[in-house]
């Protein structure tokens, strides 16, 4: 059976975002490779089209191991190729409402709250936000009453 992990694309903030996620969510950052560290010359055409020069200081690949899953990411090779994140959300579910609120608040700092933490029919507390890096999150926790 395959595994399904997430891969995010940033516009030059990948290293900062992944270090923030490591501190906030726990887990261990296992990879953080810049385009300049690639064993082969980077190809902007092969990284989503659009061409243009590759910024060697951008992150080519990052991986955060988190409870048996991987959150992977990279920077677009240059700003001209970047497309904002849309059409999905990363879901985090915690055993307790207190833990969910703590993580929600940390992720929301500097971002925008789309749905404040509140009781729902499926869990004690649930909320949605976009963090300061543009990543959409859905955070829930606790048992539904």
pLDDT digits (tens, 9 = 90+) for 55-111: 889 999 999 999 899 999 999 887 777 788 888 999 999 999 999 999 999 999 999
**pLDDT tens for each residue of 97-111:** 999 999 999 999 999
Give dist(CA 35, CA 54) in Å, integer.
8
- Predicted local confidence at residue 42, as pLDDT: 66
Examine the pLDDT at 141 and tell me if it is beyond 70: yes
**What domains are there in the chain, each with its CATH number?**
6-81 (3.30.720.100), 90-141 (3.10.180.10)
pLDDT of residue 136: 98
Residue with more model confidence, 43 or 50: 43
Closest CA to 109 of 85, 138, 133, 132: 132
Instruction: Provide the pLDDT for residue 54.
Output: 82
Q: Residue 140: is it exposed, middle or buried by C-beta count within 10 angstroms (0-12/13-18/19+)?
A: buried
Tally of CA atoms within 13 A in the half-sphere of 56 that contains its CB: 6
142 close to 123: Cβ distance less than 8 angstroms: yes
Burial 82-114 (b: 16+ CB within 10 A, else e): beebeeeebebebeebeebbebbeebbeebeee
Dihedral sign, Cα of residue 8, residue 10, residue 12, residue 18: negative
Cβ atoms < 10 Å from Cβ of 58 = 22
Would the pLDDT of 116 be above 90?
Answer: yes
């Amino acid at each position: 059976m395959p595994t399904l992990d997430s891969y995010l694309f940033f516009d030059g903030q990948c290293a900062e975002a992944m270090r923030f996620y490591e501190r906030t969510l726990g887990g261990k950052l296992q990879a953080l490779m810049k385009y300049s560290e690639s064993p082969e010359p980077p190809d902007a055409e092969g990284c989503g089209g659009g061409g243009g020069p590759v910024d060697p200081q951008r992150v080519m690949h990052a991986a955060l191991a988190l409870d048996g899953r991987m959150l992977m990411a990279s920077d677009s090779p240059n700003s001209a190729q970047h497309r904002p994140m849309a059409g999905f959300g990363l879901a985090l579910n915690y055993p307790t409402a207190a833990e969910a609120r703590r993580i929600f608040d940390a992720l929301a700092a500097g971002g925008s709250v789309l749905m404040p933490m509140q009781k729902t029919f499926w869990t004690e507390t649930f909320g949605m936000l976009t963090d300061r890096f543009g990543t959409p999150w859905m955070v829930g926790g606790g048992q539904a009453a």
